[in-house]
Amino acid sequence: MKLDPTQLLDWQIAEAAEQTMKPLDQVACELGLAYGELIPLGQKLAKIDYTKILDRLKHVRRGKYVDVTAITPTPLGEGKTTTTIGLVQGLGKLGKKVCGTIRQASSGPTFNIKGSAAGGGLSQCIPLTPFSIRLTGDIESITNAHNLAMVALTARMQHERNYDDVRLAKSGLQRLDIDPNRVQIRWAMDFCAQALRNIVIGKGGPMDGFEMESGFQMAVSSEVMAILAVARNLKDFRRRMGKIVVAYDKKGHEVTAADLEVDGAMTAWMIEALNPNLMQTIEGQPMLVHAGPFANIAIGQSSIIADLVGTKLCDYVVTESGFGADIGFEKFWNLKCRMSGLTPSAVVIVATIRALKMHGGGPAVKPGAPLPDAYKRKNLKLVEKGCQNLLAHIDIVKKCGIRPVVCINHFHTDTKEEADLIREIVEAHGASVAVSEHWRKGGDGALELAEKVANACDEIREFQFLYEPEMPLRKKIERIATQIYGADNVKYSPKAHEKATQFEAIPRINSMGICMVKTHLSLSHDPTLKGRPVKWTLPIQDLMVYEGAGFVVPIAGDIKLMPGTASNPAFRRIDVDVETGKVQGLF
């Protein structure tokens, strides 16, 4: 079946490809699963039993591990997931045993403006509808586990208000004396609903709960999701759940999920969700879809469990880190790799001529608005100037000891002269480069990229972290700010300074990794500063701690754990064919 992505929408391509997709037991067999390791969930979906696989293959040497990151994107995104899938397909065309590991889609972006991030064109993960809507229920499990913590917290606050210490003791409880003004989490749901960011709960009488200000956060921003992404197994997951800081008491002491005696029940919701989901590319290569944490408040990566499984089963595993190399790869490098024990064999930086023109001074790119003509015509001057942003991301990756491969994600409006100019600049800066047409041609269009990546995996490298755990907290923040973002220095608000001083005095917190919150639309904290900003200061406004996930979160910009729905959301174009029951309009 020949499909032309220039004539068809992504969902139409996916629907056509699903007519000839491989049976999942065939995908499992080709992946190397043994009997009993596939957990079928209907005809097109399955999970895999990671514990059986890792136990069976514990002495097997790990395969090559490839991360896909990007330059600072336009608001439209530059196709990291599409490139990840295209690279999997390209390596498959070269005869390599390969799989991909990517994040699960959240309903918030899927029904809003970003889409489901299943790839695009002829490089997609299928079947598209279950990938985009519900999948195997992992996010529902996260939502329920998270909300159970809120149920435990609010019920405890009500009982402590209504009961004296004697009555509490009869129930086997000690007074926690929770501060209603220092509750650290909110209720969770998997939609973008700005009207629920700030609410008041407990209205009514004494039996209707504890009245206080509260709100909702998006399910994928939950620390439960962050823990799913970084846990190595159920034992590790269970230990981390008890450390979640739900609130503080009136003396400033932490109140954890373990203090509320809800961590075990929360874990019970998550047992099946720890098993990765098995899907496939349009060309039939296996894809492990698992976890989907925010790329700013959390690490923005698929799960460590999926990566551990993939590197045992395959010669090559291609994964993706959220946002550009300044955010996603930095967290992959210094958080995920440290926690997993895996180190990358190669790193791909995705760049588009469109984004380089924007960084070179091109007009603003806005979601939902027509793309300005400047991005559809040849302009070597804009491309050359914009390459400063690309070079900054190359320098970031080089700091870990790896020479990156730059992938020019080719659009049909790009010219050979523009691509040749980028190739010249990149090679002069000590990186390799490939032009890839995977969106239009699938694996055949990604052969140059696949060959460059396979060669890069065989290069000698000396992987090193940016900082050591024992380094003082603020020194780690400043190292990221100056060496990764290019800031001159860091400035702390009084609140952030006070918290940093407090955290540095607590060894278990001071030794945690750093998970920075800042805009993905600039190397700086200011989304309007394009290219490679110079002579600027990174402002740290606040600090949060995700004790269960194991990182400190410095906040260098406005953060909303509950995004808003735009005026022209995707759900307006999603519908169902009532004759066939098939969903249409997903992207």
Q: How far is CA 391 from CA 70, 394, 415, 538, in A?
A: 11, 5, 21, 21
Strand partners, 119: 124
295 as an active site residue: the answer is yes
Q: What is the SS3 assignment for 545?
A: strand
The Cβ of residue 466 has, within 10 Å, a number of other Cβ atoms equal to 18
Name the strands in the sheet holding 178-183, side by side, starting at the edge strand that comes first in the sequence: 178-183, 245-249, 254-256
E-state strands within 46-117: 46-48, 64-70, 98-102
Q: What is the SS3 assignment for 576?
A: strand
> Distance (Å, rounded) from C-alpha 218 to C-alpha 139?
10
Strand partners, 51: none
323 as an active site residue: the answer is yes
Residue closest to 22 by CA, chosen among 350, 282, 406, 291: 282
Question: Do β-strands 346-351 and 64-70 pair in parallel, antiparallel, or remain unpaired?
Answer: parallel
Judge contact between 552 and 515, C-beta under 8 A.
Answer: yes
Catalytic residue among 11, 269, 333, 439: 439
> Rounded to the nearest 5 degrees, what angle is found at the Cα of 200, between the Cα atoms of 195 and 202?
135
Judge contact between 142 and 219, C-beta under 8 A.
Answer: yes
Catalytic residue among 47, 62, 80, 186: 80
Residue closest to 112 by CA, chosen among 569, 539, 576: 569
Q: What is the SS3 assignment for 100?
A: strand
587 as an active site residue: the answer is no
80 as an active site residue: the answer is yes
Secondary structure (DSSP) of 413-471: T--HHHHHHHHHHHHHTT-EEEEE-HHHHGGGGGHHHHHHHHHHHTS------SS-TTS
Q: What share of the chain is helix, strand, coil (3-state, %, to 5)?
A: 40, 20, 40
Size of the chain, expressed as the number of residues it contains: 587
Catalytic residue among 81, 82, 110, 319: 82
> Distance (Å, rounded) from C-alpha 223 to C-alpha 163?
31
253 is written with which tokens?
A: 């002491």
> Distance (Å, rounded) from C-alpha 409 to C-alpha 183?
44
Catalytic residue among 295, 298, 450, 496: 295
> Distance (Å, rounded) from C-alpha 178 to C-alpha 252?
9
> Distance (Å, rounded) from C-alpha 520 to C-alpha 298?
13
- State which amino acid sits at residue 359: H
Judge contact between 146 and 218, C-beta under 8 A.
Answer: no
Residue closest to 285 by CA, chosen among 410, 101, 15: 101
Q: ω before 130 within 30° of 0 (cis)?
A: no
571 as an active site residue: the answer is no
Question: Do β-strands 537-540 and 489-492 pair in parallel, antiparallel, or remain unpaired?
Answer: parallel
Burial 479-517 (b: 16+ CB within 10 A, else e): bbbeebbbbeebebeeebeebbeebeeeeebbbbbbbbb
306 is written with which tokens?
A: 């999926």
Catalytic residue among 111, 131, 269, 323: 323
Secondary structure (DSSP) of 238-286: HHHHHT-EEEEETTS-EEETTTTT-HHHHHHHHTGGGSPEEEEETTS-E
Residue closest to 221 by CA, chosen among 126, 150, 324, 146: 146
Annotated catalytic residues are 80, 82, 103, 114, 295, 323, 411, 439
